[in-house]
Amino acid sequence: MFRRRNAATQDAPAEGAAEPAAEVKASGAVTAGKGRPTPKRSEAERRRRYTAPEDRKAATKQARSRDRADRVRKTEAMRRGEEWALPAKDKGPVRALARDYVDAKRRFSEFYMYGLVVLLFLLFLRTPIVQTLLPVVLIVMVLIMVGEGFWIGRKVTALANERYPGQSTRGIKMYAGMRALQIRQLRFPKPRVKPGQEI
């Protein structure tokens, strides 16, 4: 009888001891890792494809080529108006709204540069009537541009306060007025709305 009891009592701790060992082993299998996250497939392929150049001249050339490609990519993104690539003065929904408002309509101000070219040509004409009318035409052009810029600034500010309440509109009037003076094909970022399109 004593032998059976002793054997039973001896077997019990052995079985109980095996369970914690199994738990430790199982928990170790779950928590054990390589100490770093698994890289994405694209990142792993990029790392695999890169080969370090053998000499310093080749390394410099490769770095310049890579920087040039990055600059071209960022410039193209800026022209398209992508937010991440824009400079600080063009970022934000209010600035984007101002650009769209100006680009959505043909205005007299965008032909200002063409008018200046014509005026410069007329300056070389010594005809008395041209010399008399030229200052008057220039003053009228300036007054039209100032009035149009003031009107655009007011409308853009009111629209921004309506659509983006709480957003800062500081400098938005000057920003919209200066964009209106630019030739449409030379505006940067490029217009994303067509003339007459609702915004």
Instruction: Give pLDDT tens digits for 58-80.
Output: 778 888 888 888 888 888 888 88
Residues of the chain short of pLDDT 50, as ranges, are 1-3, 5-32, 45
Structure confidence at residue 9 (pLDDT): 44
Structure confidence at residue 181 (pLDDT): 92
pTM given for the model: 0.64
The 8 Å CB, 24+ separation contacts for 152-158 are 152/101, 152/102, 152/107, 152/176, 152/177, 152/180, 153/177, 155/101, 156/97, 156/98, 156/101, 156/102
Structure confidence at residue 54 (pLDDT): 67
Structure confidence at residue 40 (pLDDT): 60
